Amino acid sequence: MPPVANPIPPSSSPSARKTQPKGTALLGALCLLAAVLIGGGAYGVLGGFDTNTTKRVSGGGTKVVRIALVDAAVGFDVTPDTLVVDPGTHLVADVANEGREVHDLALAGGPRTSMLESGESQRLDLGVVTGDLQAVCTLPGHKDGGMSLDLQVAAPPRPPPARRVEPRSEGI
Task: Tell me what pLDDT residue 47 has.
Answer: 43
What integer is the mean pLDDT of 136-163? 87
Task: Tell me what pLDDT residue 148 has.
Answer: 95
pLDDT over 70 percentage in the chain: 70
Q: Is the pLDDT of residue 10 over 70?
A: no
Task: Tell me what pLDDT residue 167 has.
Answer: 72
What integer is the mean pLDDT of 145-153? 93
Q: Provide the pLDDT confidence category of residue 4 given band limits of 50, 70 and 90.
A: low
Task: Tell me what pLDDT residue 40 has.
Answer: 52
Task: Tell me what pLDDT residue 24 has.
Answer: 77
Name the residue ranges covered by the structural domains of the chain: 15-45, 54-153
Task: Tell me what pLDDT residue 60 has.
Answer: 79
Task: Tell me what pLDDT residue 48 has.
Answer: 44
Query: Which residue type is seen at 121?
Result: S
Question: Which CATH number among 2.30.30.90, 2.60.40.420, 3.40.50.10540, 3.30.930.10 corresponds to the domain 54-153?
Answer: 2.60.40.420
**Ramachandran region of residue 119, left (φ > 0), alpha (ψ -120 to 50) or beta?**
left
Distance set, CA 129 to CA 25, 54, 137, 149, 152 (Å) = 61, 17, 20, 14, 9
Q: Is the pLDDT of residue 37 over 70?
A: no
- Cβ neighbours for 39, distance < 8 A, ≥ 6 positions apart: none
Per residue in 72-128, pLDDT (tens digit) is 877 899 999 999 999 989 999 999 999 999 999 999 889 999 999 999 999 999 999
Task: Tell me what pLDDT residue 163 has.
Answer: 76
Q: Is the pLDDT of residue 160 over 80?
A: no
Distance set, CA 10 to CA 13, 47, 141, 156 (Å) = 5, 53, 60, 83
What distance in Å separates the CA atoms of residue 91 and residue 126, rounded to the nearest whole number? 5
